[in-house]
Amino acid sequence: MKAKSHINKVFLGPPLFVLAVLALVPTIAAIIISFQNKELGRRGTSFVGFENYINLFSDRRFSNAMKVSLQWEAITVIGTMIVAILVAILLFETTRGRTRAIISTLLIVPVLLPRVTAAFVWKFMFNPLLGVINYPIKELTGAPIEFLSNIQTALISVAVVDIWQWGLFFAVILLKLLETLPKEPFEAARIDKARTWEIYAYVAIPMLAAPLISLTFVKMVESLRSFDLIYVMTRGGPGIVTETLDMYAFNQGFVESGRISYASAMAVLMLLTTIITFTVLFKWVRKWQTA
Amino acid sequence: MGAQMANRITFGSISARVVLACVVIFAVFPVVWTLLNSFKEVVDIVTPTPKLFFTPTLENFRYVFERPSVRLGLSNSGIIVFSAVALGALFGIPAAYALAHMKSRVGDEIKFFVLSLRFLPPVAVAIPLMSIYLDLGLYDTRLSLTMTYVLLTLSTIIWLSIPAFERVPQNIEEAARLDGYGPYAIFFLVALPVAGPSLFGAIIFSFILVWNEFLIALMLTTSEAKTLPIVASEFTLLGRNVPWGILNASVIVLSIPPLIFLGVLSGFLNRMFKK
Amino acid sequence: MLKTSISTVGGLLIATSLSTAAVAAVCTDDLKILAQPRGSLTLLEERAAEFEALSGVSFTIDFLNENDRRAKSRAEASTTGRYNVYYIDEANVALFAENEWIVPLEKHFPSEFHLDDFDPSRLTVGSYEGDLYFAPIQGGGDFLYYRKDLLDAAGITPPTTLDELKVAIKALHDPENNVYGFALRGGRGSGANVWRWMTYFRGFGGEWFDGDTPTFNSEAAIKATETYLELFQYSPPGTSTGSWTEVTEAFNSGQVALIVESSPLAGLTEDASSSAVAGKVGYTVPPRPLTGGGYGHGLAIGAKANRDEAALDCAGLFIGWATSQDQEMQRLEQGIFGDLNRQSVFASDEFAAKYSGNIATALEETAEFTTVNFWPNADWPDLGDRWGIILEELIVGSRSDIPEALNELEDYANDLIARR
């Protein structure tokens, strides 16, 4: 028993120390910097109290960024789950054996791509002059659709790329989960002459409720990482309709003015929001799943 | 919408197959199209009608590989990613083993701490680190980016390796103990080999995660330590008299390493979700 | 006799090798250059061996698009400063010079490359507080480009005033047949949408600042913005978030009847291999009261990366070689019209043979209307980029209240001044 606690100390001690240092140092630094007026390329830094935070609340681009981030979360999480469920059922119903294995492998290709690649690939396809998506549109209507520079379509168009990557990946996971379900309830439902969609809506999906909620949670966390797509595809434009919080923080801290402190204040608020939200959600999901 | 689709599946397996084909095309067409474009000359890309057949050229790839920035990015990415993954595995796999055997509240809290690191928005990590590394003179170095990436690889490897160790049958470890194996011998000689394939999957997963990482690298490097995703993004955003074929080739080069491991990951998923 | 000549040749050889050695000793490390893509810089890469022979070292150029080059060179110079040579422009020379991220050029520019041969206006643009900081790569003013074929067919003479321009645009605008009346830059950036907008703002009498007091929130700015938005209705798809690349591609592909743009477009337009309208275009000065946007881009010596005098001289040697008369003649031969800056090249027979008539006249005439439209200050990039985003929002229609937009910019400007 003693030997076991020894191995735990050796195995857990160093990694937890490393993680704690790597995670806590930037977090504490972010908090300290957010109370200063640090700027790239300007000498002299002093503490300014809550000034950065107060300024944030009257900054329309900040409130816009919060709105865009929430929209992004909603669109990508819901879109991903819908695509995942539909495609998983489609695969489960129509394919067997080798075909299914090959298609499953193909469907995880998008998620493996670097997001920079995914973003470029789609940006090129959306291109009003050269894009393959716009080619049929031009043939039919005579004019291309400017997917990425139209205020109505820009955010959705970027979200399509995210759903392309994650929705198809989750479909494969869901398919594997469907395969693990017992056959009996399906057969019972079939004998009752339930329609296919009824079997899934009333039997299969409820049986998979727990993993579905876990997947939704994972997607909510991963959707925070929208930056790469938006950076390559729209840079937050047209105007600021796709400017998410991380894009705006990056713009403030790096590109437009190098206001590290102002960006740090944003980072701290994001940190607090995500940690609190996801901790509460996680504990809730845990409790719900074990109950 | 779900109902309609399901009905079509029941009543017409042909239309279901058509839908399935569309899904597969949706998944792979963008990648295939980019691959084709990377072998095209500009005149074959800038056509009013998209071209499927053309005389392929390797010129785009030659150009990409001859750029000093691409070579630097390639070696930076290789060194940084390899180091971060190796360190992550070295520290992470033993930690996961220990956590898999801890059935206490403390164990749960530690597991949650490791998971919660994924909740950190990357920009919130990058901005303060930028300031710290600048003060330390470590900004835009491979060392500082590697250290930052260990945070990602370590937490990912721990989190994904715990289930791998949990699936090692307890009676095997018990039998080894009765044979007089010490705890370290059990880890190295029993648990590690049995969990091996899944652990490999976890390591590859973390490799892809950092190979593809963009935002942190963008903020923590400016010239010397730039990784390949940054170099590729600069290509794709060049703008003036756009060399489209070269842009397509640059993203293909960036995407090859993750795609090599497609088979490994597919197998990893199968093991993770097997009953 | 023979002996003498051998010793003379020997002496010459020694002298030559000595002078090469003297130059080669200047450089010890390979040079790193941060730039935006230009035909002339690609040409440099093709002739890298020439520089190696001259200096003993090679160089690498990292390319970023114009907006990113501005943003990233600033971030890079303010932090690590690892580039030996920076591509700088009229709008950020004040910022770079004031922060001492670059050093004055003249002392390190080898005299054999003749600084005084550059067009004087280019050198003015490259100076800050009396010191020259960059040797020009490109520069110039604005032209009104018009499609002679379309104007002739509609019986319209080239517009000389803004009102005439508006009439002509409306008359020629025919999107059904893929002809748009005008093309404007909509995409954000002090060097993008703001760059073109300023020609209206300054033309209507607008001023940016009076000392430290912002004065741009005025009738002139409102009228300029209204006019800009009005004209944007006639601009082709892709331009509302596009800039130089998008508008010039649209014009060269024949989709645009009239355009006011920087003078280098003339070279691209007349290049039949990349332009569908070569030979169909006329050139004249921008319609009154628009002012021409005087600009210049060039190469400057980085302060941090070049640690000693020798390193500074090496960077200077590179800039001298890269902007030499020989390089410019090569550019001229390859039709890289936009990147010509030397008086001796403009006066050459080759130039006269290639760009006779219309372009040459327009070049001379437009100088009169070319002015500095931006606010020449280290804070300009910051202010200009902020206005760029707001202007883009107005153009794409996600906001519409112009006075409110200008108030927002004024608050931002006051904040900038206060934080100094």
- Tens digits of residue pLDDT in C349-404: 998 888 877 788 888 888 888 888 999 888 898 999 999 999 999 999 999 999 99
**CB spacing of C80 vs B234 below 8 angstroms:** no
CA of C375 to nearest chain A CA: how many angstroms apart?
17
pLDDT digits 0-9 by tens, C34-81: 999 888 998 999 999 999 999 999 999 998 888 889 888 988 898 888
Residue contacts between B and C (CB atoms, under 8 Å): 51
8 A C-beta contact, residue B265 and residue B211: no
Contacts of C242 in chain A (CB under 8 A): 149
In this prediction, residue B16 has a pLDDT band, given cuts at 50, 70 and 90, of: confident
**CB spacing of C245 vs B240 below 8 angstroms:** yes
Lowest mean pLDDT among B59-68, C33-42, C269-278: C269-278
Indicate the SS3 state at residue B146: helix
Please state the domain extents for chain C: 14-139+295-347, 142-293+375-418
Nearest alpha carbon to residue C59 among C327, C319, C330, C308 = C319
**CB spacing of C80 vs B239 below 8 angstroms:** no
Mean pLDDT of all residues in B99-123: 88
- pLDDT of C178 reads 85
| C69 at interface of A, judged by CB pairs closer than 8 A | no
8 A C-beta contact, residue A237 and residue C186: no
- pLDDT of A184 reads 83
Strands C127-128 and C281-284, how do they pair? unpaired
The token duo for B161 is 């390796």
Distance CA B178, CA C358 (A): 97
- pLDDT of C20 reads 42
Among partner residues B50, B91, B263, which is closest to A18 by beta-carbon distance?
Answer: B91
Please state the domain extents for chain B: 1-34, 67-272
CA of B75 to nearest chain A CA: how many angstroms apart?
17
- pLDDT of B275 reads 55
Q: What is the pTM of this model?
A: 0.89
Contacts of B110 in chain A (CB under 8 A): 12, 16
Contacts of C379 in chain A (CB under 8 A): none
Q: pLDDT tens string for chain A (291 positions)?
A: 456 678 888 899 999 999 999 999 999 999 999 999 988 877 778 899 999 999 999 999 999 999 999 999 999 999 999 999 999 999 998 888 888 999 999 999 999 999 999 999 999 899 887 788 988 888 888 788 889 989 999 999 999 999 999 999 999 999 999 988 888 888 888 888 878 788 888 888 888 888 899 899 999 999 988 899 999 999 897 999 999 999 999 988 887 778 899 999 999 999 999 999 999 988 888 887 776
Among partner residues B6, B125, B182, which is closest to A196 by beta-carbon distance?
Answer: B6
Distance CA B252, CA B229 (A): 11
- pLDDT of C10 reads 42
8 A C-beta contact, residue A95 and residue B20: yes
**DSSP E strand boundaries for C122-190:** 127-128, 131-132, 135-140, 142-147
Distance CA A256, CA A251 (A): 5
- pLDDT of A3 reads 60
Mean pLDDT of all residues in B39-66: 83
Strands C102-103 and C295-302, how do they pair? antiparallel
**What CATH homologous superfamily does C14-139+295-347 map to?**
Periplasmic binding protein-like II (3.40.190.10)
8 A C-beta contact, residue C369 and residue C206: no
- Of the residues B144, B241, B246, the best mutation for testing chain C's interface (the one with the most C CB atoms within 10 Å of its CB) is B241
In this prediction, residue C24 has a pLDDT band, given cuts at 50, 70 and 90, of: very low
Whole-angstrom CA distances from A98 to A102, A178, B113, C145 are: 6, 17, 40, 62
Residues 6+ apart with CB under 8 A from B67: none
In this prediction, residue B105 has a pLDDT band, given cuts at 50, 70 and 90, of: confident
pLDDT digits 0-9 by tens, C280-291: 999 999 998 999
CA of C378 to nearest chain B CA: how many angstroms apart?
22
- pLDDT of C136 reads 95
* Long-range contacts, B48-53 (Cβ 8 Å, 24+): B49/A135, B50/A132, B50/A135
Phi, psi of C141 (to 5 degrees): -130, -150
**CB spacing of C76 vs B240 below 8 angstroms:** no
Distance CA B105, CA B117 (A): 19
8 A C-beta contact, residue B48 and residue B26: no
Mean per-residue pLDDT of chain C? 88
- pLDDT of C198 reads 96
**CB spacing of A108 vs B182 below 8 angstroms:** no
**CB spacing of A15 vs B91 below 8 angstroms:** yes
Question: What ipTM does this complex have?
Answer: 0.90
Distance CA C247, CA C184 (A): 6
> Does residue C1 surpass a pLDDT of 70?
no
Contacts of C274 in chain B (CB under 8 A): 241
Buried b (16+ CB within 10 A) or exposed e, A194-206: bebbebbeebbbe
CA of C386 to nearest chain A CA: how many angstroms apart?
8
- pLDDT of C246 reads 86
8 A C-beta contact, residue A266 and residue A62: yes
Among partner residues C75, C385, C419, which is closest to A40 by beta-carbon distance?
Answer: C75
- pLDDT of B263 reads 83
CATH of domain C142-293+375-418: 3.40.190.10
Residues 6+ apart with CB under 8 A from B38: B60, B61, B245, B248, B249, B251, B252
> Does residue C141 surpass a pLDDT of 70?
yes
C-alpha triplet B88, B91, B97: angle, nearest 5°? 115
Mean pLDDT of all residues in C145-149: 95
**What CATH homologous superfamily does A35-290 map to?**
MetI-like (1.10.3720.10)
Among partner residues C75, C241, C386, which is closest to A149 by beta-carbon distance?
Answer: C241
Question: Topology of domain B67-272, per CATH?
Answer: MetI-like fold (1.10.3720)
Closest residue of A to C73, CA-based?
A255
Indicate the SS3 state at residue B56: coil
Distance CA C227, CA C399 (A): 16
> Does residue B5 surpass a pLDDT of 60?
no
Same CATH fold assignment for domains C14-139+295-347 and C142-293+375-418? yes
| B10 at interface of C, judged by CB pairs closer than 8 A | no
Contacts of A224 in chain B (CB under 8 A): 119, 121
Candidate ranges A67-76, A235-244, B6-15, C265-274; pick with highest mean pLDDT: A67-76
Closest residue of B to A258, CA-based?
B127
**CB spacing of A130 vs B102 below 8 angstroms:** no
Mean per-residue pLDDT of chain B? 87
Distance CA B24, CA A189 (A): 30
Among partner residues B50, B127, B263, which is closest to A132 by beta-carbon distance?
Answer: B50
CA of B234 to nearest chain C CA: how many angstroms apart?
6
End-to-end Cα spacing for chain C: 75
- pLDDT of B273 reads 77
